[in-house]
């Protein structure tokens, strides 16, 4: 692990920017290309890069399996929950117009929540799939 | 000019696909399929479908390549020499392929503004999205609001995929 200092320093330098870009894509999806799906994938790629350079064991410590599972289910829950909330507010399922006083504001809130849920689930799913595959490698044997 | 770019990129994609078929070195195959996805993403940009291009570049060229490389650590690097190709197989593939190409002749011409796809719900989305939903990016309002059910389904599919991988591959706390 001590070797390849350029790779290690370069990765450490890049990861904050990757995470930042993912957040930009997540919250700027209303205005430009992007949204929860792409943001989740980019956010996951930062952790995958970390796992490739520093080893899967370190990456597991940064992102434990319990948190990944929690995020995985929480994302879908937020999405479906937004739909149920719209029902409870007197609208139809996933019709966000009832979420706020003005329909357009409600749509804005609804889309924000829904995209957030998508990003969360996609992030957790991508990292989980990669981590599970990577730890099948006999050289990185550890429990998931 | 755009047509020329289309032809060049499509030609490169065909070459990449043939190389994937030809090569036995699976590492090169994984890399080539990533490059294929990236060329596909470029093609989507040319078609002004930036959201799709973004997804293709992030998922097809990025994550899928990484996952294939992850799989490669578990399997031998060279593809096993297969059986000799059979004539029946070649005939089936050629017949299906020509049927599919024949079917495309019935499709509306490339870029035809009168194609049915442009006269279903798309004009209404384009016209009313700003007043009804708000976001300047109509793709977002279609995906997250008009087609919210579909996106909920897609998110559930990704959720299920991760659960499936965990159930099949993860070393659980319980020893078998």
pLDDT averages per 10-residue partition of chain B, 176 residues:
89 95 91 94 91 91 88 83 82 95 88 83 85 84 88 94 89 52
Q: Which pLDDT tens digits describe chain A residue by residue (144 residues)?
A: 567 899 999 999 999 999 999 999 998 888 888 888 999 999 999 999 999 899 888 999 999 989 999 999 999 999 999 999 999 888 888 888 888 888 888 888 899 999 999 999 999 999 999 998 888 765 544 444
End-to-end CA distance of chain A: 22
Question: ipTM for the complex?
Answer: 0.88
For chain A, the helix, strand and coil percentages under 3-state DSSP, each to the nearest 5: 80, 0, 20
CB–CB of A14/A54 below 8 Å? no
Q: Which of residues 54-73 of B touch A (CB under 8 A)?
A: 54-55, 58-59, 62-63, 66-67, 70-71, 73
Residue A34 is given by DSSP the state -
Residues of B in contact with A103 (CB under 8 A): 132
Beta-carbon contacts of A10 under 8 Å, excluding residues fewer than 6 positions away, are none
Give the bridge partners for B78, in sequence order. Answer: B25
Q: How far apart are CA A22 and CA A44, in angstroms?
A: 9
Indicate the residue of A34, A76, A133 with minimum beta-carbon distance to B71.
A133
Contact A29 B137 (CB under 8 A): yes
Model confidence, pTM = 0.86
H helices then E strands: how many in chain A?
Answer: 5, 0
Which helix or strand (DSSP H or E) is residue A103 part of? helix A103-134
- Which pLDDT value is given to residue B176? 44
Indicate the residue of A83, A107, A132 with minimum beta-carbon distance to B165.
A132
Chain A contact probe: residue of B70, B131, B137, B174 with most A CBs at under 10 A:
B70
- Which pLDDT value is given to residue A84? 93
Which residue of chain A comes nearest to B155, CA vs CA? A118
- At residue A7, the 3 state secondary structure works out as helix
Q: How far apart are CA B50 and CA B59, in angstroms?
A: 14
């Amino acid at each position: 692990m001590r070797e390849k200092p350029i790779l290690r320093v370069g990765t450490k330098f890049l990861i904050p920017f990757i995470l930042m870009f993912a957040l930009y894509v997540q919250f700027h999806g209303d205005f430009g290309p992007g949204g929860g799906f792409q943001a989740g994938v980019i956010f996951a790629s930062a952790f995958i890069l970390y796992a490739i350079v520093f080893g899967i064991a370190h990456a597991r410590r940064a992102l434990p399996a319990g948190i990944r599972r929690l995020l995985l289910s929480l994302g879908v829950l937020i999405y479906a929950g937004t739909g149920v909330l719209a029902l409870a507010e007197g609208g139809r399922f996933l019709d966000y117009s009832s979420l706020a006083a003005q329909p357009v504001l409600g749509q804005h809130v609804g889309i924000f929540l829904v995209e957030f849920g998508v990003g969360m689930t996609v992030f957790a799913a991508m990292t989980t799939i990669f981590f599970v595959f990577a730890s099948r490698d006999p050289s990185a044997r550890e429990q998931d | 000019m755009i047509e020329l770019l289309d032809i060049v990129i499509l030609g490169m994609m065909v070459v990449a696909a043939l190389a994937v078929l030809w090569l036995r070195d699976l590492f090169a195959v994984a890399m080539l399929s990533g490059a294929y996805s990236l060329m596909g993403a470029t093609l989507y940009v040319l078609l002004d479908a930036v959201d799709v291009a973004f997804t293709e570049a992030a998922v097809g060229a990025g994550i899928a390549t990484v996952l294939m490389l992850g799989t490669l650590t578990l399997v031998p690097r060279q593809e096993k020499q297969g059986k000799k190709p059979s004539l029946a197989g070649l005939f089936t593939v050629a017949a299906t392929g020509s049927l599919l190409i024949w079917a495309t002749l019935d499709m509306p011409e490339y870029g035809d503004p009168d194609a049915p796809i442009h006269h279903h719900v798309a004009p209404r989305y384009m016209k009313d999205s700003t007043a009804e939903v708000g976001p300047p990016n109509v793709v977002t309002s279609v995906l997250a609001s008009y087609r919210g059910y579909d996106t909920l389904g897609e998110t559930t599919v990704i959720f299920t995929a991760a659960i499936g991988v965990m159930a099949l591959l993860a070393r659980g706390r319980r020893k078998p």
